[in-house]
A and B are shown apart, each in its own frame.
Chain A
């Protein structure tokens, strides 16, 4: 997969978390993901269509998402609940939106579907499976999360 499809999602992830949740994250080394088991406890997934189709997902550890959403709302959230589910959907939406804006400037116009959120230990995230899934781990001062990008090219 072309790196120009990956980079907008990395920069959008960093920017959305810093702007909306005052959370500085650091991107690690991308790797090829071989299975569909989520690396975290709660994941947001969004389908993208247009000149090419694909999916973007972000999977958070419990510790990281509790800290992120607590920062966003300005109050402490102590457990994975409906508020976390809703927030993960909106964060996924914002990251995909900003990445699409960047891709649009590169001449790649994509539309986004409504995000879905999956919760629970060892849940699976389904991508456009015939194509490689690129995963990028991120670290924050409150644990890590991983984004995954999969496009049919």
Chain B
């Protein structure tokens, strides 16, 4: 796992963005940028060289699932690791995310160890 890559954290709740940023910094990532919904995230992706997206699902405007689909359709970003961190734990929703190409999935609430483990699973593949 290359800890020097830029990570984009997307969540409409500032509290959750802060918690995720703290966890990512604890893991060792030094460059973390944030967006409060999918449309803001798309703007960040256009200007920043991001190596990993950590995104919520339920957000106003562009949801996490729509953001994921957009990323997977884009020739330049289609292989970008995408970790969904969401309160949506129902089986049919996890299946939807997997079908859309999510790299891994975390259901809130989570521990720092869970985030680390899921990221290691993505980058060790």
A positions within 8 Å CB-CB of B: 15-16, 19-20, 69, 72-74, 83, 86-87, 89-90, 93-94, 96-98, 100-101, 104, 109, 112, 114
Contacts and interface: CB of A to CB of B under 8 A. Distances in A.
Given A94-B109, A101-B90, A104-B91, A20 B19 contact: yes
Contacts of A104: 89-91
Contacts, number: 62
Interface string B82-116: 00001111110000000000000001111100000
B89 A19 contact: no
A31 B72 CA distance: 50
B90 A98 contact: no
A74 B22 contact: yes
Interface string B1-45: 000000000000111101100100000000000000000000000
B109 A15 contact: yes
11 contacts: A15-B109, A19-B109, A19-B111, A20-B109, A69-B15, A87-B15, A97-B87, A98-B87, A104-B90, A114-B58, A114-B60
A86 B11 CA distance: 12
A46 B88 CA distance: 14
Given A19-B109, A74-B22, A94 B15 contact: no
Nearest to A96: B87
Contact of B13 (A69, A93, A97, A100): A93
